[in-house]
């Protein structure tokens, strides 16, 4: 039994000598620092498989000229990117470069926009970006109002849009009835010149408190008086007041007398009138 133990011990020493000789050949051209580093790596790699050892070796070569902060950052990224494909990793890398000088709020906003713009084409994305710049200092009500106007104006030309904008400013403090009335007047006045529009406006003010019969009567008189001077118009007006309670026969007789009396003085007219009264009585007596 003792001889067996001695043999095993001698074999162990022989193996140990051979193992150390192997290391001597391995460390022959290495300095002490490299030998210590290799020894430390062997302790580290004791329970690792070959793939992990090679991976760590590759990382050491990659990290040779990096500081500790960069190495830790790369390590954290490797953990993050473990289950991502190459396209996603490159995209994340590109975003990190883009977001380098941005604060957290801007980064989150950009991320939210990317989700929003995922299924949009480039034209729509640029349009929305331009709207965000426009709406930066507007409240929600104004933004919604402008959005509604864009939908309304989608198929209108620039002239119509400006015209509608001008009308909105005009109608800002008007009620619905006034707006509709003005709209109806615009349709009526579309083919009229400015003079006619002003004339109609003046008539509307004049006719505001008149009934339909009076408005029609005045309209008929305007047609009648179109080619008359002011004196004739006033005379006709005075005659209408005089003839208001007279029948047609009396009005015609008065008209005939006016023609007869046109060139007579007042004294002759009165004398003729007095004679007509005298003659009327005599005719009645006969």
Residues 90 and 152 placed together within one structural domain of the fold: yes
Of 113, 139, 156, which residue constitutes the final position of a domain? 156
For residue 229, pLDDT over 90 is answered with: yes
Residue 215 lies in a domain: yes
pLDDT value, residue 11:
53
For residue 7, pLDDT over 50 is answered with: no
Total count of domains within the chain: 2
For residue 82, pLDDT over 80 is answered with: yes
pLDDT value, residue 3:
47
pLDDT value, residue 2:
44
Residue 66 lies in a domain: yes
Of 156, 180, 206, which residue constitutes the final position of a domain? 156
Residues 115 and 38 placed together within one structural domain of the fold: yes
The whole-chain average pLDDT of the chain stands at 84
Task: State phi, psi for 113 to the nearest 5 degrees.
Answer: -65, -40
Residues 104 and 195 placed together within one structural domain of the fold: no
Q: What is the pLDDT of residues 25-75, one digit of tens each?
A: 555 667 778 778 777 888 888 888 988 888 888 888 888 898 999 889 888
For residue 199, pLDDT over 70 is answered with: yes
Residue 286 burial by Cβ neighbours in a 10 Å radius (0-12, 13-18, 19+): exposed
Cα gap 147→144, rounded to integer Å: 5
For residue 257, pLDDT over 90 is answered with: no
pTM of the entire structure?
Answer: 0.43
pLDDT value, residue 20:
58
> Rg of the chain's alpha carbons, rounded to an integer?
56
pLDDT value, residue 62:
86
Among 4-18, 180-194, 234-248, 254-268, the least confident range: 4-18
Among 166-170, 229-233, 272-276, the least confident range: 272-276
* Residues of the domain holding 122: 33-156
| Higher-pLDDT residue of 3, 103 | 103
Residue 206 lies in a domain: yes
Q: Which residues contact 175 (CB under 8 A, 6 or more apart)?
A: none
Cα dihedral 159, 161, 162, 166 sign: positive
pLDDT value, residue 157:
93
Mean pLDDT, residues 185-189 taken together: 89
pLDDT value, residue 83:
92
Q: Which residues contact 63 (CB under 8 A, 6 or more apart)?
A: 70, 71, 74
Is residue 35 within 8 Å of 27, Cβ to Cβ? yes
Residues 47 and 135 placed together within one structural domain of the fold: yes
Of 156, 175, 204, which residue constitutes the final position of a domain? 156
pLDDT value, residue 175:
93
Cα gap 82→189, rounded to integer Å: 75
Structure tokens at 265: 């003085």
- Count other Cβ atoms within 10 Å, centred on residue 128: 13
Cα gap 269→264, rounded to integer Å: 6
Q: What is the pLDDT of residues 113-172, one digit of tens each?
A: 888 898 999 898 898 888 888 898 999 998 898 888 889 999 999 998 898 888 889 999
Could you say which DSSP state residue 264 is in? S
Cα gap 274→136, rounded to integer Å: 94
Cα gap 137→251, rounded to integer Å: 77
Cα gap 202→108, rounded to integer Å: 63
Cα gap 221→214, rounded to integer Å: 10
Residue 57 lies in a domain: yes
Is residue 63 within 8 Å of 71, Cβ to Cβ? yes
Residues 120 and 224 placed together within one structural domain of the fold: no
Residues 201 and 148 placed together within one structural domain of the fold: no
| Higher-pLDDT residue of 25, 233 | 233
């Amino acid at each position: 039994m003792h001889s067996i133990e001695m043999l095993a011990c001698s074999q162990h020493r022989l193996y140990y000598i051979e193992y150390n000789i192997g290391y001597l050949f391995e460390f022959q051209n290495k300095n002490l620092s490299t030998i210590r580093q290799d020894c430390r790596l062997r302790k580290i790699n004791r329970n690792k498989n070959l793939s992990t050892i090679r991976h760590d070796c590759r990382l050491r070569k990659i990290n040779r000229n990096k500081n500790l902060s960069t190495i830790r950052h790369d390590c954290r990224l490797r953990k993050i990117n473990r289950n991502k494909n190459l396209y996603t990793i490159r995209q994340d890398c590109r975003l990190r470069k883009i977001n380098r000088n941005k604060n957290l709020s801007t980064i989150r906003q950009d991320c939210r926009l990317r989700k929003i713009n995922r299924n949009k084409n480039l034209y729509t994305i640029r349009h929305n970006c331009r709207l965000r710049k426009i709406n930066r200092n507007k409240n929600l009500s104004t933004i919604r109002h402008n959005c509604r106007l864009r939908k309304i104006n989608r198929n209108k030309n620039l002239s119509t849009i400006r015209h509608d904008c001008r009308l909105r400013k005009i109608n800002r403090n008007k009620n619905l009835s006034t707006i509709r009335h003005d709209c109806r007047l615009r349709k009526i006045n579309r083919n009229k010149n400015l003079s006619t529009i002003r004339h109609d406006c003046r008539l509307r003010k004049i006719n505001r408190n008149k009934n339909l019969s009076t408005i029609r009567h005045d309209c008929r008189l305007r047609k009648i008086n179109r080619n008359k001077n002011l004196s004739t118009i006033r005379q006709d007006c005075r005659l209408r007041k005089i003839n208001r309670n007279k029948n047609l026969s009396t009005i015609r007789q008065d008209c005939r007398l006016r023609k007869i009396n046109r060139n007579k003085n007042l004294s002759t007219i009165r004398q003729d009138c007095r004679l007509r009264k005298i003659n009327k009585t005599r005719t009645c007596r006969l």
